[in-house]
Homo-oligomer: A and B are copies of this chain.
Amino acid sequence: MRILLVGAGGVGDAIAKIAATRNFYELFVVSDYDLSRAERTIEWIANRHGRDVAAKFLAAKIDASSAANVTELCKAHKVDFVINAVEPKFLPTVFSGAFTAGVNYLDMAMSLSEPHEADPFHLPGIKLGDAQYALHDQWERAGKLALVGMGVEPGLSNVFARYAQDYLFSEIDELSIKDGGNLTVVDDQGNEIFAPSFSIWTTIEECLNPPTIYERSKGWYTTRPFSEPEIFEFPAGIGAVECVNVEHEEISMLPRNIKANRVTFKYGLGEEFIGVLKTLHKLGLDATKLQRVRSAQGPVDVAPRDMVAAVLPDPATIGPRMTGKTCAGLLVTGKDKDGRDRATYLYHVADNAETMADIEAQCVVAQTAFNPLIALELIAEGTWKGAGVMGPEEFDAKPFLDLMSSSTGYNIKWEAQERLPASPLRHP
């Protein structure tokens, strides 16, 4: 396999560093708009794993906003798989550039949504991923695979859902992804500071867009932001965190292939973070529309959300000052194989101290990065195969989870924790 990684930011950098410990590819091109970022990643690999390992890596400059440039780079290096690790706004050009080049494609976040024009808080408009699924037939006819949403969430969460359906449950009531952590960040003096572990730009987008919910009887619908708050008890010492509905890819993806009465995504933002997002929205500081403002250079036009991103610490740089764990998981409720009520939380926990030691990446980034590599390795060996625009839940979950946890594989633990079935199976 010859791979082109587009984007050497936080997640891209971590993907390349983890790839350096595996052997399923011939060539790994690390590309970025800023060539020096790509070179820095490969330099780290050379220092950690030696020049021989680093020899399979190549740095390149890319303009992800140009589909033609993506196609060109694919051809120049005869790649057969593109990994898209840039901001969602560049998804259309990377996706289409890969298609034109006639190569396979993988991403970790899907095409963006558009709210319903008339009734945004009840009806979905264009859902996350809709623009990509619309091209399924073209990809299938071309005999190429676009494996979409193959990070941790979406990604590992989809694998868990498929695993639950095939191996744990006879009937699924609800698939509810629950994501939460206990991360804290300190400043140089050791005082705790407000520093989101993930791009504030994307977090605002996820949290302030109307959350989508799927119910078998109603189909997809939306609510007001921060709906259905609940306290979820996370494992591994993380403890209770306030979770609310957010818009997320799994809600578009899972109902296409997994039979469930309800699909939700609950993000453990915590009370403080929810308060911050609500305030930003109330003041209009979440807006992406340009606003005239005075500057040292005279009156200029700035998107308020860009100002918010500018004042906060860069999430890529806070790893060394961060402490704690983050948990990504899926709570499945329904009937077990014997028809009894069952509630199982399938999850993975990343500890920042460990990911910093392993690959010098903070845990939220690292937790995303290993998943695309496991998938590519299964594809390279022929275990996973397909053509068209496909989600991770369309493939057998067992080989993925085995390769993930095996000591000759990625040696990454996941758990299935039994919970008390809280409420009777709903049949809406």
Contacts and interface: CB of A to CB of B under 8 A. Distances in A.
Interface in A279-304: 279-280, 282-285, 287, 290-297, 300-302, 304
A307 interface: yes
Given A275-B275, A300-B300, A300-B302, A283 B295 contact: no
Contact of A282 (B276, B287, B300, B301): B276
Contacts of A300: 295-297, 300, 302
A310 interface: yes
A165 B259 CA distance: 78
A303 to B, nearest CB: 8
Nearest to A299: B297
A283 B196 CA distance: 10
A301 B290 contact: no
Which of A292, A293, A294, A310 is packed against the most chain B CB atoms within 10 Å? A293
B295 A302 contact: yes
A293 B275 contact: no
A51 to B, nearest CB: 37
A194 interface: yes
A424 to B, nearest CB: 39
A310 B293 contact: yes
Interface in A298-356: 300-302, 304, 306-308, 310-312
Contact of A302 (B275, B283, B285, B294): B294
A301 B311 contact: no
Contacts of A295: 290, 295, 300-302, 306
Contacts of A287: 311
Nearest to A285: B311
A292 B314 CA distance: 13
Interface of A is mostly: mixed
Interface string A175-195: 000000000000000000010
Contact of A297 (B276, B294, B297, B308): B297
B312 A302 contact: no
Which of A283, A284, A291, A301 is packed against the most chain B CB atoms within 10 Å? A283
A302 B2 CA distance: 45
Contacts of A311: 283-285, 287, 291, 304
Nearest to A194: B282
A269 to B, nearest CB: 14
A390 B164 CA distance: 79
Contacts of A301: 295-297
A307 B291 contact: yes
B306 A293 contact: yes
Contacts of A283: 194, 276, 308, 311-312
A312 B280 CA distance: 11
A283 B305 CA distance: 12
A312 B295 CA distance: 17
Nearest to A279: B279
Contacts of A293: 302, 306-307, 310
A282 B187 CA distance: 13
A368 B194 CA distance: 38
Contacts of A276: 279, 282-283
Which of A287, A301, A311 is packed against the most chain B CB atoms within 10 Å? A311
B285 A275 contact: no
A194 B294 CA distance: 22
A373 B114 CA distance: 56
Given A283-B308, A284-B311, A293-B310, 8 more contacts: A285-B308, A287-B311, A290-B296, A294-B306, A295-B300, A296-B300, A296-B302, A302-B302
26 contacts: A194-B282, A194-B283, A276-B279, A276-B282, A279-B279, A283-B308, A283-B311, A284-B312, A285-B307, A285-B308, A290-B295, A291-B307, A293-B307, A293-B310, A294-B310, A295-B300, A295-B301, A295-B302, A296-B302, A297-B297, A297-B300, A302-B302, A302-B307, A304-B310, A304-B311, A307-B307
